């Protein structure tokens, strides 16, 4: 069955990009809500996949795309974090060992089944059953594709979530960053930490010296993407300080903020959720501390003119 049979041509057809020999990015336009990137590495005995997709049809299309490159089965599936756009399709990787941080397992079990209302426009999720990692780690694990070393590392602190990991291929200088990085889309840190993300980008990602970066959403990039995202995170922190000093709520601060150079990023309503997280940190909340995500999402819908957030997954 071809990818087109799964009707994922809108908002743009996915593409397979060979970013290094036998190392591929699977890029899904346009990288907005619930439309993520994945990737895979091909060896003599099988395939390692980095993440699944959000819906049944998108995950099946991804598996079909792998088959256009190799007849080898996916033997290992790595989840970079627990969010459903990267994990709801886990159960379709029949026979694969699902690998992830201990927090990914906990997060998937806590999340439950996919749902659109009341925050997103309707999504055709398809068949679903939870499939959390059954091989877990606390700090990291090394995977091998033949003789190619792949380092799966938890980043050490809350950032996009509390359980983010990267997949780093040092010999090729290729980094699968998960949702620590967005390319062309607004980062989203309601379940993580603004300060923690700054720390991770500065002290974990930048020192790697990656030459090719597969972000969790958006086109394949170079190392300049790290500075781009750092600029946005610092903008959020500065905006939160000004809003807090003025006695404004996160929503009102967002409404009065000129996004400037970040106005062209997709899903700009995420500024509201990010300000909820930044306000909590200004009030002393630890990285990854639980905040009222429902209230943050509701304010994002309000910022969006009272309309559910647009999702084309």
Closest CA to 174 of 223, 230, 139, 101: 223
> pLDDT band at 3, cuts 50/70/90?
very low
pLDDT tens-digit profile of 96-140? 999 999 999 999 999 999 999 999 999 999 999 999 999 999 999
Cα dihedral sign, 94-28-213-66: positive
Averaged over 159-184, what is the pLDDT? 98
* Strand arrangement of the beta sheet that strand 97-101 belongs to: 15-20, 23-27, 38-42, 47-50, 74-78, 97-101, 135-137
> pLDDT band at 81, cuts 50/70/90?
very high
Domain extents in the chain = 3-231
The pLDDT value recorded for residue 165 is 98
Cα dihedral sign, 219-225-226-229: negative
pLDDT more than 90, % of the chain: 96
Averaged over 66-84, what is the pLDDT? 98
pLDDT of residue 4 exceeding 60:
no
Helix axes 293-303, 270-282, angle to 10 degrees: 140
> pLDDT band at 9, cuts 50/70/90?
confident
Q: Specify the 3-state DSSP secondary structure of 290.
A: coil
The pLDDT value recorded for residue 8 is 81
pLDDT of residue 7 exceeding 70:
no
- Token couple for 275: 């300000």
> Of 2-11, 154-163, 174-183, which range is least confident?
2-11
Q: What is the mean pLDDT of the chain?
A: 96
Averaged over 146-150, what is the pLDDT? 98
pLDDT tens-digit profile of 236-270? 999 999 999 999 999 999 999 999 999 999 999 99
The pLDDT value recorded for residue 228 is 98
CATH class of residue range 3-231: alpha beta
Averaged over 78-104, what is the pLDDT? 98
pTM for this prediction = 0.96
């Amino acid at each position: 069955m071809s990818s087109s049979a799964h009707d994922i041509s809108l908002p743009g057809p996915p593409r397979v990009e060979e970013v290094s020999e036998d190392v591929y990015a699977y890029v899904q336009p346009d990288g907005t809500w619930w439309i993520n990137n994945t990737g895979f590495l091909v060896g003599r005995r099988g395939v390692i996949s980095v993440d699944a997709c959000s819906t049944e049809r998108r995950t099946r299309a991804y598996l079909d795309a792998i088959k256009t490159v190799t007849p080898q089965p996916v033997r290992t599936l790595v989840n970079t974090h627990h969010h459903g756009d990267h994990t709801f399709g886990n159960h379709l990787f029949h026979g694969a060992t699902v690998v992830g941080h201990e927090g990914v397992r906990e997060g998937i079990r806590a999340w439950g089944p996919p749902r659109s209302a009341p925050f997103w426009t309707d999504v055709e999720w398809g068949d679903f059953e939870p499939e959390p990692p059954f091989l877990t780690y606390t700090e990291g694990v090394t995977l091998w594709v033949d003789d190619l070393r792949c380092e799966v590392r938890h980043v050490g602190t809350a950032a996009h979530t509390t359980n983010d990991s990267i997949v780093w291929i040092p010999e090729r200088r290729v980094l699968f960053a998960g949702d620590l990085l967005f390319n062309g889309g607004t980062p989203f840190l309601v379940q993580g930490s603004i300060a923690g993300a700054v720390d991770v980008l500065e002290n974990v990602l930048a020192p790697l010296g990656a030459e090719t970066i597969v972000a969790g959403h958006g086109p394949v990039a170079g190392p300049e993407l790290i500075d781009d995202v750092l600029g946005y995170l610092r903008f959020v922190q500065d905006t939160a300080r000004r809003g807090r000093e003025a006695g404004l709520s996160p929503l009102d601060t967002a409404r009065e903020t000129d996004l400037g150079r970040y106005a062209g990023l997709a899903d700009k309503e995420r500024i509201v959720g990010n300000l909820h997280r930044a306000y909590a940190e200004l009030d002393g909340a630890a990285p990854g501390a639980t905040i009222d995500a429902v209230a943050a999402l509701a304010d994002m819908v309000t910022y969006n003119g009272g309309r559910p957030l647009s999702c084309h997954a």
